[in-house]
Amino acid sequence: MAKAKKEAPPKKGCPAWQGTFGDLMNLLLCFFVLLFSMSTLDAAKYEEVAASFSAAFGLFNGGQNALGDGALIGDGVSQLSSLSAYTTSMGAAASGDAENPTDATSGDQSAVGAPDVSEAEATLEAAQMEASEKLAKEVTEALQAGMTDSEKAELTEEEVISDVILNYTSQYVQLTINGSLLFASGSAQVQESAYPVLDKVGAVLSSYAGGTIEIEGHTDNVPIHTSQFANNDELSDARALSVFYYIISVTDLDPANIKHSGRGEYQPVADNTTAEGRAKNRRVEIRIYNPLSAQY
């Protein structure tokens, strides 16, 4: 009589189909959990938050990094305590929920003692102005180093050294150099007589310009059309570039931190109908941004 065959022992672990089925169930569970979470999203709140970030930080239109009109979050001045009130008001204004953008921050926010955004901006503005005043004083002392009292007495009220005017805002200190000192009429080549002044300016930039420097060329409104320059736009741009080249040739400044541009005749500081006014408009401006500036 033949012996019956013994059945093979079952394989260890679950069958292959069961593992695949379990994975499928997990994926379906995750899928329905996601659907549920999306279905319970407060659409109005989402739009408000998106509008707040778009208006306040420029995430969707320009990559700005300022809070409000040029007030930084960083650079040593903290405004995080007023960020909530500000974003709420901006979101309400952008979505049309409030007739007055300040309505959202007045009332409930003030009731709990939240700082006013305008107060934070005023504090930052004062700190920036103080930084510019300090920088202007240091630049003035550096430029006037070695000058005698009689030489200082010969300067005009606006001049910090001969043919150079210094002024400042909360964002930067600006040196305005007379165009007649730098260039001959219709030319963009720096004259040798301007070298000592530019050497002094270069030394100041090396010592006190830790961030962005801007060089802008300006002209009067007298038309120009030569084989080299078709108009004042090209002339002003070439003059700014010439000063840029000279500055980097006599300093160790990083060219990546220096912006240069020509503004043509479009930003006069004096009346172009007079010879004196046109002379003032032919100039090169060099801006040194202070450490608290948004463009530093």
User: Domain spans of the chain?
Assistant: 122-289
- The string of pLDDT tens digits covering residues 58-106 is 444 444 444 444 444 444 444 444 555 555 555 555 555 545 544 544 4
Q: Over 80: is that where the pLDDT of 249 sits?
A: yes
Give 35's pLDDT tier (boundaries 50, 70, 90).
Answer: confident
Average pLDDT for residues 105-121, to the nearest whole number?
A: 61
pLDDT at 78: 45
Q: Over 80: is that where the pLDDT of 236 sits?
A: yes
CB atoms within 10 A of CB 182: 25
Question: How far apart are the C-alpha atoms of 226 and 249, rounded to whole Å?
Answer: 28
How many CA atoms are closer than 13 Å to the CA of 111, on its beta-carbon side?
4
User: Quick one: tokens of 76?
Assistant: 């040593």
User: Quick one: tokens of 123?
Assistant: 């504090």
Question: How far apart are the C-alpha atoms of 37 and 256, rounded to whole Å?
Answer: 47
Fold of 122-289: 60s Ribosomal Protein L30; Chain: A; (3.30.1330)
Long-range Cβ contacts of 132-139 (<8 Å, 24+ apart): 132/168, 132/169, 132/170, 132/171, 132/172, 132/173, 132/290, 133/168, 135/168, 135/173, 135/208, 135/288, 135/290, 136/166, 136/168, 136/173, 138/208, 139/166, 139/173, 139/175, 139/204, 139/208, 139/288
Q: Cα dist. 159→14, 24, 138, 152 in Å?
A: 90, 80, 15, 9
pLDDT at 296: 86
* C-alpha torsion 29→34→37→40, nearest 10: -100
- The string of pLDDT tens digits covering residues 190-219 is 999 999 999 999 999 999 998 999 999 999
